[in-house]
Amino acid sequence: MPELPEVETVRRGIAPILEGNRIERARAFRADLRWPFPERFAERLTGRTVLSLRRRSKYILGEMDDGHTWRMHLGMSGRSFVVAARGSGLGGSFVHEIPASPRVDAFGPHDHVVVDTGAARLIYNDARRFGAMDLWPTADLEGHPLLGKLGPEPLGNLFNVDALSAALNGKTASIKAALLDQRVVSGLGNIYVCEALWRAKIHPARAAGSISRKRLDALVRHIRDVLAEAIEAGGSSLRDYRQADGELGYFQHRFSVYDREDEPCTLMSCPGVVRRLVQSGRSTFYCPKCQK
């Protein structure tokens, strides 16, 4: 579920309670999410301070004061909530509230990890458990088996027409599949690939290696634009996703094609109707009239 804009929104929401605040207590209510947690995971978080909370692709990375980085991925249904302690002035509208005497059974279904700092509580909730967390030496993050293979950040300087061109050169897979490949560019998912391809007027089934440099240049710009606009809107809420304070994101109201099958193309003067096709098992939404 969460793509780059949702992950960045969550990061911004939880940074104020984690950065610079000692973790008084951390608890994990099960042994794994997608994979087992590290040995003594909760104990290793307890007493630590997160010096900075950053994002790389769809990962949230908390650099801790013991030389390790706390790596978090929200998978499809992961949510990270800030729950305000009474009187702290932090947090927001979400229904959770810290009980006067916290008990394990005070938490809701699928609340898997709970972290308390002096000021507030962070709850990681994930119904499908495709999310993940681990601890990795900060000095060797590039050596992490999952972080090391990631392509450039789409909002960073390393992502440009030269890089995209080189990454797509010779590829016979569709441009849709190529943009979902996190080695090509990292952070895009199903929503924003569909939206960016519509903006660039590129048909999602086109062979990735067959697209002109000029069109790739436009694609780079549209990818940046749509991500930036979505971050601005607090991400897109379809089912599970919430901002860290429990609020919905708002970008779903501005979708041009995603989840709009059979509705009219939003391009002024385009008579097209949005169609859905399935590529590598996932829905693609596009306008057959204006995407070629």
Partner DNA sequence: CGATACACCTGTGTGC
Partner DNA sequence: TGCACACAGGTGTATC
- Binder to DNA among 171, 206, 215, 221 (CB under 7 A)? 171
Q: Which residue, 52 or 172, has its beta carbon nearer to DNA?
A: 172
- Binder to DNA among 189, 197, 222, 227 (CB under 7 A)? 189
Please tell me whether residue 56 binds DNA under the rule CB under 7 A: no
Instruction: Give the closest residue to 62 by CA, choosing from 78, 39, 36, 80.
Output: 80
Using H for helix, E for strand and C for coil, what is the string for the chain?
Answer: CCCHHHHHHHHHHHHHHHECCEEEEEEECCCECCCECCCCHHHHHCCCEEEEEEEECCEEEEEECCCEEEEEECCCCEEEEEEECCCCCCCCCCCCCCCCCCCHHHCCCCEEEEEEECCEEEEEEECCCCCEEEEEEHHHHHHCCCCCCCCCCCCCCCCCHHHHHHHHCCCCCEHHHHHHCCCCCCCCCHHHHHHHHHHHCCCCCCEHHHCCHHHHHHHHHHHHHHHHHHHHCCCCCCCCCCCCCCCCCCHHHHCCCCCCCCCECCCCCCCCECEEEEECCEEEEECCCCCC
Q: Is 109 among the catalytic positions?
A: no
We find the least distance from the C-beta atom of residue 39 to DNA, in angstroms, to be 18
Q: Which residue, 144 or 199, has its beta carbon nearer to DNA?
A: 144
Q: Which residue, 158 or 238, has its beta carbon nearer to DNA?
A: 238
x-or-dash string of contact with DNA, 250-289, rule CB under 7 A: ------------------------------xxxx------
β-pair partners for 229: none
CA–CA dist 216, 179 (Å, integer): 12
Q: Is 8 among the catalytic positions?
A: no
Q: Exactly one of 11, 27, 55, 58 is catalytic; name it.
A: 58
**What number of chain residues touch DNA (CB under 7 A)?**
41
Please tell me whether residue 180 binds DNA under the rule CB under 7 A: yes
Please tell me whether residue 2 binds DNA under the rule CB under 7 A: yes
x-or-dash string of contact with DNA, 72-111, rule CB under 7 A: -x-xxx-------------------------------xx-
Q: Exactly one of 12, 25, 215, 282 is catalytic; name it.
A: 282
We find the least distance from the C-beta atom of residue 182 to DNA, in angstroms, to be 5
- Binder to DNA among 9, 117, 125, 174 (CB under 7 A)? 174
Q: Which residue, 58 or 68, has its beta carbon nearer to DNA?
A: 58
Say how many C-beta atoms besides its own lie within 10 A of residue 7's C-beta: 27
Q: Which residue, 11 or 110, has its beta carbon nearer to DNA?
A: 110
Give the binding site for DNA (CB under 7 A). Answer: 1-3, 6, 34, 57-58, 73, 75-77, 109-110, 127-130, 146, 149, 171-174, 177, 180, 182, 189-191, 208, 235-241, 280-283
Q: Which sequence positions are flagged as catalytic?
A: 2-3, 58, 282
